[in-house]
Amino acid sequence: MNATLQTILSRHGDRDGALLPVLHEIQDALGYVPAEAVPLIAKALNLARAEVHGVLTYYRHFRQTPPGRHVVRICRAEACQSVGADALAAHAEKRLGCGFDETTPDGLVTLEAVYCLGQCAVGPALLIDETAVHAAVGPDRFDALIDALEPRK
């Protein structure tokens, strides 16, 4: 992990406003931003540890602990609300057996809310991991998407 961090930090040292790009790269590489990274980032970017901590904890995108093997983010904003997002959210909690901002006991899925994926004409929408956007998701489609995450052996 230290080698990964040092590589990332050496790439961004003299970039203007480097902190967010650095945190993104660390999270993309490790899945979260570990506590041990904070002093290293602070030193490399000439910031106080408190500043790094403040930014890390301010933005919801950044994680301080590893998520489940997959992250499922259901849009809960107005446009999706108007076509059943609340019902989908309730179904998801029941199907997964965990609440929002929680991870299933088997570590398969972390369930989160997101406020808008820009799919407002074709909701309800959700995002699986970094790029897999799905629209017009009802309960059956949700179950199929979850079943497809990791085929049972």
Partner 1 sequence: MSVTVFVPRDSTALALDADAVAAAVLAEARRRGADPTLVRNGSRGLFWLEPLLEVATAAGRIAYGPVTVADVPGLFDAGFLAGGAHRSRQGPSEAIPYLARQRRVTMRRIGVVDPRSLSDYLANGGGEGLTRARAMAPADIVRVVIESGLRGRGGAAFPTGLKWRTVLDAPAARKYIVCNADEGDSGTFADRLSMEADPFGLIEGIAIAGLAVGASGAYIYVRSEYPHALAALDAALAAATDWLDGFRIEVRKAAGAYVCGEETALLESLEGRRGIVRAKPPLPAVAGLFGQPTVVNNVVTLASVPDILARGAASYRELGVDRSRGTLPFQLAGNLKHGGLVEVPFGRTLRELLYDFGGGSRSGRPLRAVQVGGPLGAYLPASRFDTVLDYETLAAIGATLGHGGIVAFDDTVDMAKQARHAMAFCARESCGKCTPCRIGATRGVEVIDRLRGGKPGQSELLRSLCDTMIHGSQCAMGSMTPLPVLSALDHFPEDFR
**Residues at the site binding partner 1, with contacts judged by CB under 8 A:** 16-21, 23-24, 45, 47, 51, 54-55, 58-62, 75, 77-83, 114-123, 125, 127, 130-131, 133-136
CA angle 135, 137, 138 (to 5 degrees): 160
Q: Smallest distance from the beta carbon of 6 to partner 1, in angstroms? A: 19
- Residue 57 near residue 51 (C-beta atoms within 8 A): no
Rounded to the nearest whole angstrom, what is the least distance from the CB of residue 60 to partner 1 in the complex?
Answer: 4
Residue 1 or 122 with smaller CB distance to partner 1: 122
Least distance (Å) from partner 1 to the CB of residue 128? 11
| Closest CB to partner 1 among residues 140, 153 | 140
Q: Which is nearer to partner 1, 61 or 153 (CB)?
A: 61
Q: What is the CA radius of gyration of the chain?
A: 18
**CB nearer to partner 1: pick between 14 and 153:** 14
Query: The tokens of 90 are what?
Result: 């309730």
Distance in angstroms (rounded) separating the CA atoms of residues 134 and 126 = 5
CA dihedral sign, ordered 87, 85, 135, 27: negative
Question: CB 82 → partner 1: shortest distance, Å?
Answer: 4
Query: What whole-number distance in Å separates Cα of residue 133 and Cα of residue 70?
Result: 13
